[in-house]
Structures are given as structure tokens and as C-alpha cells.
A and B are shown apart, each in its own frame.
Chain A
Amino acid sequence: MTWLRRIRFPLLLMAGATLAPLLGRAGFLSESKWLYLGVAVTYAAAALSLNLLMGYAGQISLGHFALLGTGALVSGVVTSADRGGLPFMVALPVCAIVGGVVAFVLGLPALRLRGLYLAVITIGFAYVADQTIFKLNYLSHGSAGIHLPRPLVNTFSFSRTSDFMGILCVLLVVIWQVDRNVTRTKLGRAFHGIRIDESVAASFGVDPRRYKLLAFVISGAMAGVAGSMYGHVYMFVNNESFGFEKSLLLVIIVVVGGLGSRAGVIVSAFFYALFGVVLTHISWLHIFRGFDILIGAALLMYTVSRHPGGLAQAFQESRDRERRGTPDEEAEEPALPKLPEMPRPSGLPERPTVEGLSGSVPVLAAHEISVRFGGLQAVNAASLAVPRNKIVGLIGPNGAGKTTMFNAMSGLLKPNAGKVELLGQDVSEMPAHARARLGMGRTFQLIGLAGDLSVTENLLLAQHVVASYGVLSALTQIGPSRSVERELRDRAAEAISALGFERFANTPVKRLSHGQQRIVELGCVLVTAPEVVMLDEPSAGMSPGAAENLAVRLRDMRDDLGRTILLIEHNIPLVLDVCDELYVLSGGEILAHGLPDEVVQRPDVIAAYLGEPAAAAIVEAEAEAEATPVKAKPAPRKRTRAGAAK
């Protein structure tokens, strides 16, 4: 029966679409009340559009009603008798396209600005649209406005609003369906990824710029259609129909409903559109007249400050609490299970592989990388090479530049000088997501997963590079997207059962323990069978037992899965245990390179770790020192100790 639950909302709307004309003809509700209902449906469509942008992709738009205005005015130009005079059905796709194009332009600043700055830009757009664009003579006869006729099919006119409701409901179902297709394909996962952390998304092969703009375009197309609906409900719009306050109302609707919750924002849209009407028209509520916005606004303030997930989430949480009780915090950390043995998936883009590599060429190599932050030389002409099927360690005291080096190699930051080669190919000019597509997998010091997505969904996001279907196929569910998605799900399920995480498959990752999240992260990196795996402190936060188990798993990865690994680690015993080669980074320079046991005994390496006066000053203030000399009781005596820190 789950399928029934899943489509109950569209079912309800379709029922509405059939019933509305019948009820209208039977004289149920007056024409003006049908008008309110019609407006409520357009608000729901608009809320879905904004929800896609804000809730899924995390891009803020405070001028979203201006996009609806664009749709309405374009629809007016296309259909009105003194202009295009074309049918409503022609206007809809035009509105979608124009809305998408305008939103694309609006999204361009989002590539440079985020958060509040982006909000400010979108407000600016709302005002310019309102005061300049919508006043253009061609669009709205100056400020005189434009008439939008109701659709006409043969000789049947949808002039009764109850009849037109049928069309509106069908359109809302279509938008709902498109939205649903977004969330169940790579599009929704990629949006989610860039909202949580663009670097993490890029490490899975998602191009953040492309997907940001895509979110604007899809949202804009939806808004264009919603605007057309809005215009044809009222049958007249002018430049004053789309004021800034309506944009704000839309934000209120989406936030109160719950960012990212499809059903939540629709319920909220109906509530805000109809609440005032209800107050006005029910006699015993008469004293509350004019209180609708007041209550709605108070509700918004309350929601954001006390239930940031919106009403949908508050509802969900209370249901969860009933069902599960509180999570067991004290549960013992499970041992690290076996990592999935994943063959190279079929959908991978064409790329060279380690098998095709001639003997001496390293899988991954950095040549003379230098990174400067302002006056600080974080990495200075550092080179390293990772040979095939080896585990290479990179250690160094705090602030030595290990993670900076990692970021430069994976493309998250652009070095001031130097070259990175992957499988013998120069990738220095490639952004992170392109390197991921070429087979570079990496993990992050703070776990690189989307916390509120489930384990399965994270594994699907991780397979972004394999999801080789187009945007249109994703939106329409026609073409390869269905079969590819099925393959991805099979692979994810396989990985989950290899990890032994079946019971967590649908658990949001943030509910798992730190150690479990680490395992899921490793699973996500391995699921696409990358040519080289870069691990940034995988044992951080693990209990000593789990860290020991990690060593076994890393060796498995090398010996059984044939992987090549570059490993940053603070846990020296672990490094000595698993690494074939070791590099020591200190003060941004490669201090030593060689066999692990030999390297860690070199006096200069020990000095770097112990912070002898000669050693470079340590910069990272909040990071913790990893190796310490211990002065024992009677006389101060130097002893060296590898910190199992971090």
C-alpha cells in the first residue's frame, strides 16, 4: 500500500480536478470563493517552485514573485486578444521557457555570492522587475495592465472559475510530478549535496555551478507556469500585482511549511491563501478579521526560531518520538565491518584506468605544489607520488599543510604553482568534480556526507558520476533515467549489505555514530571504484579498537581490492602499520620520504614533531598537537612518543 500513500496527494488533486467543475455547476460555493481556491492552487505551484530552489538547492530567493510576474505578463502577451491571441496551451511552454531563462540570469550572481548577499540581489531583482520591467509598455501597457482570457477549447470557455480549477489542478499535479522526479533522481541528490557542502558534492563529481544554475532554471520554469496560472485566474494583471510583499509571503509559506517538504509547503500555501478568507466569511470568527496575516507572521517567527525544519518536520519529529523513543546514546561502537568490494560500474565516463598505466608512472603525482594564503606560505614546492597498488602516508605536525596539499591535489583549491597528474594525465586545470569523474575519490576530515540523507541516498549521491542520463530524462522519467537509477539502487544495496548496514539503510546519516558515519563515507568513496582513494584522517574520532580494525580494512583495500591509497593520518601507529611509503610534511615542505620505519626515526622528523626551537612555528591554533616529548619525574629527559592523536 506504500504506492498509494506516495501518490495520495496527486490523487487528491486529480479528484479535485474532476469534482470542481461538477460542484461549481451544482452551485456549490460562489464564484468569488472559487477564485480564492484557484489562487490557492497557484500559490501551491509557486511554493513548490521556491521550495525547489530554497529547500533543495539551498539558494535563497526573496523576489520569487517577480518570476511569477514574468510568467503572467508573458502569458498575457501571448494570449490576450490585442496581442498574440494564441491559446493558453501555447502560452504555458512559452512561460516555462521565459521563466527558466530569466531565472538563469538571476542565478548568475549566485555563482559568486551566497546567503544574505544573494538574498539582497534577489530583492533587487524584485524591485527592478516591479518598477521597471513590468512597466514596459509592451508587457503591461505601461501600468494600465493586461487582460488574460480564460482558455477556450473549441467553443467551450473555461470562464467559470470552477471549470478552470480543473486545469489548475492538473497543472499542479504536473509540477508536483516534475518536482518528485527531481527528488528521486541525481538532480535532487546533487541539489542536496551543494546545499550541504559544495566541496563534498564536488568530490562525488557534482559540478556545483552547473547544478546551482540548473536549480534556478527548473525553479524559474515552474514559476513561469505558476505565474501564467495566476494571471489567468485573475484574468487581469498589471505591474502592481507582483509586489515585494507577495514574494515575502511566498518565503513565509515555504519556511513555515518546511523547507524541502513537498507536502508541507503545499499545505502551508493553502493555509496562507485561505486562512484570511475563512476568518472573514465565518460569522463567529468575525472578531478575528484582519488577524490572518498577524497570526501567519507570528507563526513564521515562532517556526523559524523553535522548529527550523518547519511544521512538516515538527510533525515528523513528534511522530518519530512516539515510535522510537530517544536514540540509544550509549550504544557501544561496532567494529569496522568489511568494506564493499565494488567492481568498476558500467556507467562510468570514458577514462584511463590503472590497468592501462605503464609500469613506472604513478597513479597520482603532485609536482612542486605551492599554496599561499595571504602572507602565509602553506605549502612550498611539495612533490609526492603515489605508485599503483600502494598505500602512501602523508604525516606532519599541525599546520604543516597536509590538508591544504590534499585540497590542492583534489582540486578544491588552486595552487599558486605546481602540477597534479592523475594516471599520467595533467589535471592541474580541472575543477574538483572533473577530477572525481576521472577516478579520484576522497574523504574529508569532518565527515563528507549529506547528514539528513539516508545511507542509501548518500550512496546514490556518491554514484553521481555513474548516473549518465540527461536532465530531461530525469525530469520526465522517460529514457534511460529509470533503468540507470535502478542499477544505482542495486549497487547501493549491494554496498550496504557488504558493509552490514542493512538496518541503517534508510536512517539519516546524522543519526549514526561518528564511527559508523566514517564507514558509510568510505563505502561512498569505494562505490564507484575510483583509481585512487585519498583519505583525510580516517581514524579521527575512532576508538582505538576501531582504528585497529581500520588498519586491517585499509590493507584489504590494497591487497584484495587492488586500490591505490593516499592517506593523511595523525595516528602514527596506524600509519606505520599500513603504509608502504611515507612522506613527512613540515612547514609546507616535504621534509622526508621513504620507508615508514626509517622515516620516523630521522632526527629531523622527530624534531619537526617535537617542536624543537629549530622547527617551524606551528600555525594551526585550534588543531591539536600530535606528538609530544614527555618529561619524566626526576630529571627532564627527552622521550619521543607518537601521538595516536586525532
Chain B
Amino acid sequence: MGQVLVLGLVYGVIYSLFAVGIVLVYRGSGTINFAQGEIGTFGLFVAWWFTTAHHLPWIIGAVAALVMAAALGAGFEWAIVSHMVEANRVSVAVATIGLLAFLVAFEVRFFEGGNIRKMVAPIRGTGWSVFGVVVSPTQILSLLAAGALAAGLALLLKKTDFGLGVLAAAQDPVAVRLVGIPLARVSAFVWGLGAAVSVLGALFIEPTIGVFTPGFASEMFIKGLAAAVVGGLTSLEGAFVGGLLIGFVEVGANRVFDFPGVKMFSILFVMLLVLLVKPDGLMEGFKFRRRALA
């Protein structure tokens, strides 16, 4: 039981990072960014190029990856999404599929992505044993980073005018322009932030998995998506709660059942159940009573 909790927490927190990116974009543009995971992988390639290929410190590679990803997200919004204000939201989602395919092809073509690569961990060391599970320093760091991210987002969204504008834009994009807030900038910011968050997730999960190739984060994306859906797709708290829940479900089901693909099966089963029974997510109804983040 203790092991399930520890492992579920360690994995779940990564899923919630991906879920946060998905929720941000969903709130900003009402669509799902299917390239969310691949942007994380793209960030890994950028970070790898700096750290492994050019022997610079981890932090430089990480910052470069975050910046590149943010620019990519914002640029995609500017070049594609902003032209689709009137379009069906499913069409926008299809455009993100184009971005996904583009990034995979880009990585293959320019990073010779067919080769298997390893990214260094931010901190070296053996880690500690908790309930018989070895928790690496990177995993501890990812917990801290997720906590910091949650706090940072809360501060940004509730305490700054621009952050309030982000929240408002999700509620009424037209009214936002009518009070003079540059919607284009808000929207590009949201896509950029969502992209950066997913790089954060990819940087922290990679050392646990070991190697990466193009498409590396697509499973993370599906799990993050499940977490976001379970949390209601619009709620940032829901994304964190959903991520942890998905983490526990995955680790727990893996203990109890034994068949191929048991993790994905259990996660998608939970997601389907939530969608059919409570399509607005488990956090619905919670939103109006407590709105610390969202």
C-alpha cells in the first residue's frame, strides 16, 4: 500500500504537469492540444543538444528548452490558432495534430531522432528508500517543482492584472477585448505557458524512464489528458487532483491485474467511466465553493 502511494505520487505528479498544460490551453482556446506531449519531447531534444552534445550545465539546457517550447507554443497560437476564432474547436484540435506530426518529423530530420538518447538528470545521487521504493532526487525535485508551479500559477492568475485577464479570457473572450485587454497576447501567453509546463514534465520524467525518442511523451500526454478529463478539463486544481488519481490507479491496477497494457487500460477505463457518469469531471461543483487556483 505504501509503495502504491509513493509510486502513484511520483508518477501522478508528472501526469498533473501535463494535465496543467492541457487545462491551460483548454481554458484559453477551448480545445485540446494534441501536441502537448510532443512539445515536451521537443524540449528534451533541445535540452539534450545543450547538455549532452555541448556539455553545458543542466540548468542551461532546461532553461533553453523551456524558452524554445514557450516560443513554439506562442508561435503556433499566433500563426494558426488565432486565425481560427470562428472555427469549430475540433478543427483547432486537428491543427494541433498537424503540430504533433510536424514536431515528430522535425526531430527525426534535424536531431537524427532515430537514435536512442539519454538526458542527464538535474541532480545526481542514489536517492532514499521510502516504503521499500527508491525515490530518486529528481523525483523529489519534481514534487517540489509541481508545488512551486501550483503556487506560481495561483499567484499569477489571481494577483496580477494580466493573470486575471487570462482567467477572464477563458470566460468571455469578446468581453475581454471590450475592456481593452489584448486578447491575442493573452492567448499566445496561455499556449506558451502550456508548452513550457509540458517541457517541465518531460524533463522530470525522462531520468525515471531512461531514454527518449521522438514520440517519447505521447503516453505521458494520454495520461495527462486522462488526468485533465477526470479533473474536469477546466480546473487547474482538478488537473493536480486528477494527475495524482491517475498515478494511483495506474500503480494500483498494475499490482492487482496482470495482462499486457494493464496500466493504459485501467487509466482509460477510469477516464471513460468519469466521462460517461460525470462528464464535467470529478471537481465539478467544487469550483464555486473554492476557487483558490481556478
Contact = CB atoms under 8 A, between A and B. Distances in A.
Interface of A: 60, 62, 109, 112-113, 115-117, 119-121, 123-124, 127-128, 130-132, 135, 142, 244-245, 248-249, 251-252, 255, 290-294, 296-301, 304-306, 308
15 contacts: A115-B89, A117-B275, A119-B32, A123-B222, A131-B265, A132-B264, A135-B261, A245-B215, A248-B34, A251-B94, A252-B98, A290-B108, A293-B102, A297-B102, A301-B99
A130 B275 CA distance: 21
A116 B279 CA distance: 12
A135 B260 contact: yes
Interface residues of B, number: 47
> Quick one: which of A60, A142, A244 has the most chain B CB within 10 A?
A244
Interface string B265-294: 100100110011001000000000000000
Contact of B109 (A119, A249, A290, A305): A290
Interface stretch (B4-12, B80-88, B149-157): B80-88
Contacts of B268: 124, 127-128
Given A115-B89, A128-B265, A294 B275 contact: no
Contact of A297 (B79, B93, B99): B99
Contacts of B98: 252, 297-301, 304
- Those 4 A-B pairs whose CB atoms lie nearest each other, nearest first: A131-B261, A300-B98, A297-B102, A132-B261
> Quick one: which of A117, A124, A299 has the most chain B CB within 10 A?
A124
Interface of B: 31-32, 34, 79-81, 83-84, 87-95, 97-102, 104-106, 108-109, 215, 218-219, 222, 225-226, 229, 259-262, 264-265, 268, 271-272, 275-276, 279
> Quick one: which of B31, B89, B90, B94 has the most chain A CB within 10 A?
B94
B1 to A, nearest CB: 26
B90 A300 contact: no
Contact of B31 (A116, A127, A293, A305): A116
A294 B109 contact: yes
Contacts of B276: 109, 112-113
B225 A120 contact: yes
Given A109-B276, A112-B276, A117-B275, A306 B83 contact: yes
Contacts of B226: 124
A305 B83 contact: yes
Contacts of A297: 98-102, 105
Contact of A252 (B81, B101, B219): B101
B215 A255 contact: no
Given A62-B34, A294-B102, A297-B100, 13 more contacts: A109-B275, A116-B89, A117-B275, A120-B225, A120-B271, A124-B222, A131-B265, A244-B218, A248-B34, A292-B105, A300-B98, A301-B98, A301-B102
A298 B76 CA distance: 11
A304 B102 contact: no
A392 B188 CA distance: 54
Contact of A294 (B32, B105, B272): B105
A130 B109 CA distance: 26
Given A113-B279, A131-B265, A305 B272 contact: no
Contacts of B272: 109, 121, 124
A128 B101 contact: no
Chain A contact residues, majority secondary structure: helix
A132 B260 CA distance: 5
> Quick one: which of B87, B88, B105, B271 has the most chain A CB within 10 A?
B105
Nearest to B260: A135
Given A128-B265, A305-B80, A255 B222 contact: no
A132 B267 CA distance: 13
A293 B87 contact: no
Contacts of B81: 305
A487 to B, nearest CB: 36
Contacts of B109: 290-291, 294
Contacts of B87: 304-305, 308
B189 to A, nearest CB: 19
Given A60-B90, A119-B90, A305 B264 contact: no
A300 B101 contact: yes
Given A116-B31, A249-B101, A301-B98, A128 B271 contact: no
A112 B276 CA distance: 7
A303 to B, nearest CB: 8
Given A248-B101, A249-B101, A252-B98, A128 B89 contact: no
Contacts of B80: 301, 304-305
B15 to A, nearest CB: 15
A130 B222 CA distance: 13
Given A116-B32, A130-B261, A132-B261, A252 B102 contact: no
A251 B97 contact: yes
Contact of B94 (A109, A130, A300): A300
